[in-house]
Amino acid sequence: MHEQLQNFLNYLSVERGLAANTLESYGRDLRQYITFLREKKQIRVEEATQATVIGYLLHLQAKGRATATLSRSLAAIKSFYHFLAREQVIERDPTINLDAPKQEKRLPRVLSVEEVVKLLEQPDLKTPAGIRDRTMLEVLYATGLRVSELVSLKIKDVNIEEGYIRCFGKGSKERIIPLGSVATKYVTFYLDHARKFLASDPKEDTLFLNHHGKGLTRQGFWKIIKKYAEQLGIAHMITPHTLRHSVATHLLENGADLRSVQEILGHADISTTQIYTHLTRTKLKEVYEKTHPRA
Protein backbone atom coordinates (compact mmCIF):
# COMPACT_ATOMS: atom_id res chain seq x y z
CA MET A 1 0.00 0.00 0.00
CA HIS A 2 2.92 2.34 0.51
CA GLU A 3 3.61 1.93 -3.20
CA GLN A 4 0.00 2.89 -3.97
CA LEU A 5 0.33 5.89 -1.68
CA GLN A 6 3.39 7.06 -3.58
CA ASN A 7 1.55 6.55 -6.87
CA PHE A 8 -1.29 8.67 -5.51
CA LEU A 9 1.04 11.48 -4.42
CA ASN A 10 2.73 11.38 -7.84
CA TYR A 11 -0.71 11.68 -9.45
CA LEU A 12 -1.54 14.72 -7.29
CA SER A 13 1.77 16.32 -8.18
CA VAL A 14 1.89 15.62 -11.91
CA GLU A 15 -1.74 15.51 -13.03
CA ARG A 16 -3.38 17.88 -10.56
CA GLY A 17 -0.39 20.16 -9.99
CA LEU A 18 -0.80 20.42 -6.22
CA ALA A 19 1.80 22.39 -4.29
CA ALA A 20 4.58 20.69 -2.32
CA ASN A 21 3.09 21.78 1.01
CA THR A 22 -0.28 20.23 0.10
CA LEU A 23 1.40 16.99 -0.98
CA GLU A 24 3.29 16.85 2.31
CA SER A 25 0.04 17.34 4.23
CA TYR A 26 -1.78 14.62 2.23
CA GLY A 27 1.11 12.21 2.71
CA ARG A 28 1.28 12.83 6.45
CA ASP A 29 -2.49 12.40 6.97
CA LEU A 30 -2.63 9.22 4.91
CA ARG A 31 0.39 7.62 6.57
CA GLN A 32 -1.27 8.24 9.96
CA TYR A 33 -4.47 6.64 8.65
CA ILE A 34 -2.62 3.60 7.29
CA THR A 35 -0.77 3.19 10.59
CA PHE A 36 -4.09 3.36 12.49
CA LEU A 37 -5.57 0.62 10.30
CA ARG A 38 -2.52 -1.60 10.70
CA GLU A 39 -1.92 -1.13 14.44
CA LYS A 40 -5.43 -0.55 15.82
CA LYS A 41 -7.62 -2.52 13.43
CA GLN A 42 -5.15 -5.04 11.97
CA ILE A 43 -6.59 -4.51 8.51
CA ARG A 44 -5.35 -3.19 5.20
CA VAL A 45 -6.54 -0.02 3.47
CA GLU A 46 -8.39 -2.12 0.86
CA GLU A 47 -10.43 -3.84 3.59
CA ALA A 48 -11.71 -0.66 5.28
CA THR A 49 -15.45 0.04 5.38
CA GLN A 50 -17.32 3.26 5.92
CA ALA A 51 -17.55 2.36 9.61
CA THR A 52 -13.77 1.97 9.71
CA VAL A 53 -13.22 5.46 8.32
CA ILE A 54 -15.75 6.94 10.74
CA GLY A 55 -13.98 5.10 13.55
CA TYR A 56 -10.72 6.72 12.55
CA LEU A 57 -12.31 10.17 12.61
CA LEU A 58 -13.74 9.46 16.06
CA HIS A 59 -10.26 8.32 17.12
CA LEU A 60 -8.83 11.69 16.01
CA GLN A 61 -11.65 13.53 17.77
CA ALA A 62 -11.00 11.61 21.00
CA LYS A 63 -7.37 12.74 20.80
CA GLY A 64 -8.56 16.34 20.78
CA ARG A 65 -8.01 17.09 17.11
CA ALA A 66 -9.82 20.16 15.80
CA THR A 67 -12.73 19.93 13.38
CA ALA A 68 -10.54 21.46 10.67
CA THR A 69 -8.02 18.64 11.16
CA LEU A 70 -10.77 16.02 10.86
CA SER A 71 -12.05 17.65 7.67
CA ARG A 72 -8.57 17.80 6.17
CA SER A 73 -7.87 14.14 7.04
CA LEU A 74 -11.18 13.00 5.57
CA ALA A 75 -10.51 14.98 2.39
CA ALA A 76 -7.18 13.19 1.98
CA ILE A 77 -8.71 9.77 2.69
CA LYS A 78 -11.62 10.35 0.28
CA SER A 79 -9.27 11.49 -2.46
CA PHE A 80 -7.03 8.46 -1.90
CA TYR A 81 -9.93 5.97 -2.08
CA HIS A 82 -11.28 7.68 -5.19
CA PHE A 83 -7.86 7.19 -6.78
CA LEU A 84 -7.70 3.51 -5.72
CA ALA A 85 -11.18 2.89 -7.13
CA ARG A 86 -10.26 4.58 -10.40
CA GLU A 87 -7.12 2.43 -10.61
CA GLN A 88 -9.26 -0.66 -9.81
CA VAL A 89 -7.21 -1.46 -6.72
CA ILE A 90 -10.49 -1.58 -4.75
CA GLU A 91 -13.98 -2.47 -5.94
CA ARG A 92 -15.91 0.02 -3.83
CA ASP A 93 -15.02 3.38 -2.33
CA PRO A 94 -15.95 3.26 1.41
CA THR A 95 -16.01 7.07 1.67
CA ILE A 96 -18.44 7.70 -1.18
CA ASN A 97 -21.30 8.95 1.07
CA LEU A 98 -19.18 10.49 3.82
CA ASP A 99 -19.39 14.24 4.36
CA ALA A 100 -16.85 16.34 6.21
CA PRO A 101 -17.88 17.53 9.69
CA LYS A 102 -19.24 21.06 9.71
CA GLN A 103 -16.68 23.57 10.83
CA GLU A 104 -17.41 26.53 13.02
CA LYS A 105 -16.52 29.64 11.06
CA ARG A 106 -14.19 31.74 13.16
CA LEU A 107 -13.27 35.20 12.05
CA PRO A 108 -9.52 35.62 11.61
CA ARG A 109 -7.65 37.99 13.89
CA VAL A 110 -6.38 41.11 12.16
CA LEU A 111 -4.06 43.95 13.10
CA SER A 112 -5.09 47.57 12.91
CA VAL A 113 -3.31 49.83 10.43
CA GLU A 114 -1.46 51.42 13.36
CA GLU A 115 -0.27 48.03 14.65
CA VAL A 116 0.91 47.03 11.17
CA VAL A 117 2.89 50.26 10.82
CA LYS A 118 4.56 49.70 14.19
CA LEU A 119 5.42 46.12 13.18
CA LEU A 120 6.93 47.27 9.90
CA GLU A 121 9.11 49.79 11.73
CA GLN A 122 10.72 47.21 14.05
CA PRO A 123 13.65 45.95 11.88
CA ASP A 124 17.00 47.74 12.18
CA LEU A 125 17.76 49.30 8.79
CA LYS A 126 21.46 49.62 9.69
CA THR A 127 22.04 45.91 9.01
CA PRO A 128 21.54 43.82 5.84
CA ALA A 129 19.31 41.39 7.76
CA GLY A 130 17.23 44.27 9.09
CA ILE A 131 16.79 45.71 5.59
CA ARG A 132 15.76 42.27 4.36
CA ASP A 133 13.25 41.87 7.18
CA ARG A 134 11.70 45.30 6.59
CA THR A 135 11.46 44.58 2.88
CA MET A 136 9.77 41.21 3.44
CA LEU A 137 7.24 42.73 5.82
CA GLU A 138 6.54 45.57 3.39
CA VAL A 139 6.07 43.15 0.48
CA LEU A 140 3.83 40.90 2.58
CA TYR A 141 1.62 43.79 3.64
CA ALA A 142 1.56 45.31 0.14
CA THR A 143 0.53 42.10 -1.61
CA GLY A 144 -1.16 39.75 0.86
CA LEU A 145 1.07 36.88 -0.25
CA ARG A 146 1.02 33.55 1.52
CA VAL A 147 4.28 32.99 3.39
CA SER A 148 5.19 30.10 1.08
CA GLU A 149 4.72 32.44 -1.89
CA LEU A 150 6.83 35.15 -0.26
CA VAL A 151 9.85 32.94 0.43
CA SER A 152 9.58 31.37 -3.05
CA LEU A 153 9.96 34.68 -4.89
CA LYS A 154 12.82 34.90 -7.35
CA ILE A 155 14.59 38.12 -8.33
CA LYS A 156 13.07 37.84 -11.81
CA ASP A 157 9.56 37.77 -10.28
CA VAL A 158 9.85 41.43 -9.27
CA ASN A 159 9.29 44.13 -11.87
CA ILE A 160 10.65 47.29 -10.27
CA GLU A 161 9.90 49.53 -13.26
CA GLU A 162 6.23 48.55 -13.49
CA GLY A 163 5.77 48.03 -9.75
CA TYR A 164 4.38 44.51 -9.60
CA ILE A 165 5.39 40.98 -8.62
CA ARG A 166 4.60 37.62 -10.16
CA CYS A 167 3.94 34.67 -7.89
CA PHE A 168 2.74 31.10 -8.17
CA GLY A 169 0.10 30.13 -5.63
CA LYS A 170 -1.86 26.98 -4.90
CA GLY A 171 -1.95 24.62 -7.84
CA SER A 172 0.97 26.57 -9.35
CA LYS A 173 -1.48 29.23 -10.54
CA GLU A 174 0.28 32.40 -11.62
CA ARG A 175 -0.95 35.81 -10.56
CA ILE A 176 0.34 39.35 -10.98
CA ILE A 177 0.01 41.64 -7.96
CA PRO A 178 0.66 45.38 -7.67
CA LEU A 179 3.57 46.06 -5.33
CA GLY A 180 2.86 49.65 -4.37
CA SER A 181 5.33 52.54 -4.18
CA VAL A 182 6.55 51.95 -0.61
CA ALA A 183 7.24 48.22 -1.03
CA THR A 184 8.86 48.88 -4.42
CA LYS A 185 11.17 51.40 -2.76
CA TYR A 186 12.24 48.87 -0.12
CA VAL A 187 12.78 46.07 -2.63
CA THR A 188 15.03 48.40 -4.63
CA PHE A 189 16.92 49.40 -1.48
CA TYR A 190 17.31 45.75 -0.44
CA LEU A 191 18.63 44.70 -3.85
CA ASP A 192 21.04 47.64 -4.04
CA HIS A 193 22.36 47.69 -0.46
CA ALA A 194 21.66 44.45 1.44
CA ARG A 195 21.23 41.30 -0.63
CA LYS A 196 24.86 41.25 -1.83
CA PHE A 197 26.02 40.99 1.80
CA LEU A 198 23.77 37.95 2.37
CA ALA A 199 24.52 36.18 -0.92
CA SER A 200 27.32 33.63 -1.07
CA ASP A 201 26.47 31.97 -4.38
CA PRO A 202 26.11 34.27 -7.41
CA LYS A 203 23.83 31.67 -9.03
CA GLU A 204 21.30 31.81 -6.16
CA ASP A 205 18.24 33.59 -7.60
CA THR A 206 15.90 33.46 -4.59
CA LEU A 207 14.98 37.03 -3.65
CA PHE A 208 15.14 36.79 0.14
CA LEU A 209 18.19 35.04 1.62
CA ASN A 210 19.14 33.81 5.08
CA HIS A 211 22.57 34.30 6.68
CA HIS A 212 23.83 31.18 4.88
CA GLY A 213 23.07 32.76 1.52
CA LYS A 214 20.19 30.36 0.85
CA GLY A 215 16.51 31.10 0.44
CA LEU A 216 14.61 31.65 3.69
CA THR A 217 12.17 28.93 4.73
CA ARG A 218 8.64 29.54 5.96
CA GLN A 219 9.75 28.61 9.46
CA GLY A 220 12.68 31.01 9.21
CA PHE A 221 10.47 33.90 8.24
CA TRP A 222 7.96 33.28 10.98
CA LYS A 223 10.72 33.26 13.57
CA ILE A 224 11.57 36.71 12.24
CA ILE A 225 8.02 38.04 12.43
CA LYS A 226 7.50 36.53 15.89
CA LYS A 227 10.62 38.32 17.11
CA TYR A 228 9.32 41.69 16.01
CA ALA A 229 5.85 40.95 17.36
CA GLU A 230 7.38 40.13 20.75
CA GLN A 231 9.25 43.43 20.68
CA LEU A 232 5.88 45.14 20.26
CA GLY A 233 4.18 42.99 22.86
CA ILE A 234 1.65 41.58 20.36
CA ALA A 235 3.11 38.10 19.83
CA HIS A 236 -0.20 36.54 20.91
CA MET A 237 -1.91 38.29 17.97
CA ILE A 238 0.43 36.99 15.25
CA THR A 239 -0.31 33.83 13.30
CA PRO A 240 1.11 32.72 9.95
CA HIS A 241 -1.79 34.43 8.17
CA THR A 242 -2.26 37.55 10.30
CA LEU A 243 -0.77 40.05 7.84
CA ARG A 244 -2.61 38.40 4.94
CA HIS A 245 -5.90 38.72 6.83
CA SER A 246 -5.04 42.31 7.68
CA VAL A 247 -4.33 43.19 4.04
CA ALA A 248 -7.71 41.85 2.91
CA THR A 249 -9.57 43.64 5.69
CA HIS A 250 -7.81 46.97 5.16
CA LEU A 251 -8.44 46.82 1.40
CA LEU A 252 -12.17 46.22 1.91
CA GLU A 253 -12.40 48.90 4.59
CA ASN A 254 -10.96 51.39 2.12
CA GLY A 255 -13.37 50.58 -0.68
CA ALA A 256 -11.80 47.71 -2.65
CA ASP A 257 -14.33 45.39 -4.29
CA LEU A 258 -14.53 41.74 -3.33
CA ARG A 259 -13.47 40.40 -6.74
CA SER A 260 -10.29 42.47 -6.74
CA VAL A 261 -9.37 41.26 -3.26
CA GLN A 262 -10.04 37.68 -4.40
CA GLU A 263 -7.64 38.16 -7.32
CA ILE A 264 -4.94 39.72 -5.13
CA LEU A 265 -5.10 36.95 -2.53
CA GLY A 266 -5.41 34.16 -5.09
CA HIS A 267 -8.56 32.60 -3.64
CA ALA A 268 -10.06 30.01 -5.99
CA ASP A 269 -13.52 30.54 -4.49
CA ILE A 270 -14.92 33.97 -3.66
CA SER A 271 -16.68 32.50 -0.61
CA THR A 272 -13.23 32.30 1.01
CA THR A 273 -12.80 36.04 0.47
CA GLN A 274 -16.28 36.84 1.77
CA ILE A 275 -15.29 36.08 5.35
CA TYR A 276 -13.51 39.44 5.38
CA THR A 277 -16.77 41.27 4.69
CA HIS A 278 -17.96 39.96 8.07
CA LEU A 279 -14.94 41.60 9.67
CA THR A 280 -15.61 44.95 8.03
CA ARG A 281 -19.31 44.79 8.96
CA THR A 282 -18.37 43.99 12.55
CA LYS A 283 -16.09 47.03 12.69
CA LEU A 284 -18.76 49.23 11.07
CA LYS A 285 -21.27 48.13 13.71
CA GLU A 286 -18.81 48.95 16.50
CA VAL A 287 -18.15 52.41 15.05
CA TYR A 288 -21.90 53.02 14.64
CA GLU A 289 -22.66 52.03 18.21
CA LYS A 290 -19.89 54.27 19.54
CA THR A 291 -20.69 57.33 17.45
CA HIS A 292 -24.39 57.43 16.54
CA PRO A 293 -26.43 59.45 19.08
CA ARG A 294 -29.39 57.05 18.88
CA ALA A 295 -27.50 53.78 18.64
Catalytic residue among 72, 170, 175, 185: 170
- 170: annotated active-site residue: yes
For 176, the enclosing helix (H) or strand (E) is strand 174-178
Out of 78, 195, 244, 250, the active site residue is 244
Print burial letters for 223-241: b (CB count within 10 Å at least 16), e (below 16): ebbeebbeeeeeeeebeee
Q: Up-side HSE of residue 262: CA atoms within 13 Å toward CB?
A: 13
The active-site residue out of 118, 185, 241, 283 is 241
- 241 is a catalytic site residue: yes
H or E, element range at 261: helix 258-265
Check if 244 is active-site: yes
276 is catalytic: yes
CB atoms inside a 10 Å sphere around CB 287: 11
How far, in Å, CA of 16 to CA of 171, rounded?
7
Q: How many CB atoms lie within 10 A of CB 177?
A: 19
Of 33, 56, 190, 276, the active-site residue reads 276
Amino acid identity of 107? L
The count of other CB atoms within 10 Å of the CB of residue 156 is 9
Strands, sheet with 158-159, edge to edge from the N-terminal-most edge strand: 158-159, 164-168, 174-178
Burial of 291 (0-12, 13-18, 19+ CB in 10 A): exposed
Question: Catalytic residue among 134, 195, 250, 267, which?
Answer: 267
From residue 69, alpha-carbon distances to 29, 51, 52, 78 in Å are: 9, 19, 18, 14
Burial code (b: 16+ CB inside 10 Å, e: under 16) for 31-42 equals eebbebbeeeee
Beta strands 158-159 and 164-168 are antiparallel
Residue 70 CB: number of other CB atoms within 10 A? 18
Check 146, 195, 245, 250 and give the catalytic one. 146
Which residues are the active-site residues? 146, 170, 241, 244, 267, 276
